Copies of this chain bind each other. A is one copy, B any other.
Amino acid sequence: MLIGKKGEAKTAIETADANSITVRGKDLCNEVMGHNSIGEFFFLHLTGRQPTSDQAFFMDVLVVALAEHGLTPSVQAARMTLAAAPEALQGAVAAGLLGVGSVILGSADVCGDMLDDAAARVEGGETAEAAALAIAHEYKAAGRFIPGFGHPIHHPVDPRAVRILQLAEERGVSGRYVNALRAFPDAVAEVWGKTLPMNLQGPMAAVLLDLDYPKAAIRGIPILARTVGLIGHLNEETERPIGFLLAHHGEEAIEYDGN
């Protein structure tokens, strides 16, 4: 099927010749290798700009914060996959990444939209507290969860969320988004009538937006982070396999109720 449209195709990312490789206008070998960390390169590759030191610092903070959270469904899927198909490490990593979707790591961009709304209200004259409270009421009235709140094990707070905000304060990078976010925990507690832990999606979105990261980073950083985590788990799986044991426990727990 000639699904492809005819036309010119361009990329601004890379070009190469026999002697050199150019990435985003820089000579890869002499200007990037040995000069840029993984996080700096990720930012450069994504945006075409060299990150500031704050942008680079939080790149590292956020990937490290998201990379590892135990035997998550994604990690279990990846370890089961490697146990069944050990010939292809890349397949097991792919299986794990396929679970980095809208439910588990995908709410940061929704948080971003919510914070954008809140910040605009503050700039329109409301206090941050009033803006957060109004938005929380709107979500509650619409029967929706408030994005960025709730966590299966961390109570009353997700320590990673606290730490990200603390680092934002220390580095002086908090701006309209972080400031808008700070009013939400109390607003959510008031509207829902109980304390819900703020998870790390909100602080991640807020810091990325205050630091002028592109929107794409909000989706890309969790994927990069989980790749780091999956490779470590899959290495452990080759040394101390538990993929089939995990499957066994899941399987034993299931009851058949068909005809």
Contacts and interface: CB of A to CB of B under 8 A. Distances in A.
B88 A80 contact: no
A254 B9 contact: yes
A9 B71 CA distance: 11
A130 interface: no
Contacts of A20: 159
A108 to B, nearest CB: 12
A6 B84 CA distance: 16
B101 A13 contact: no
A232 B73 contact: no
Q: For the complex of A and B, list the 6 residue pairs with the smallest distance between their C-beta atoms, beginning with the closest.
A: A85-B101, A4-B248, A25-B259, A246-B250, A12-B258, A15-B256
Contact of A33 (B9, B23, B61): B61
Contacts of A257: 10-12
Given A73-B84, A80-B76, A97 B99 contact: no
A18 B154 CA distance: 4
A86 interface: yes
The number of times this chain is found in the oligomer is: 4
Interface stretch (A115-123, A182-190, A236-244): A236-244
Interface string A220-239: 10011001110111111010
A3 interface: yes
A59 interface: yes
A142 interface: no
Nearest to A12: B258
Interface stretch (A38-46, A132-140, A173-181): A38-46
Contacts of A216: 231, 234-235, 238
A92 interface: yes
A141 interface: no
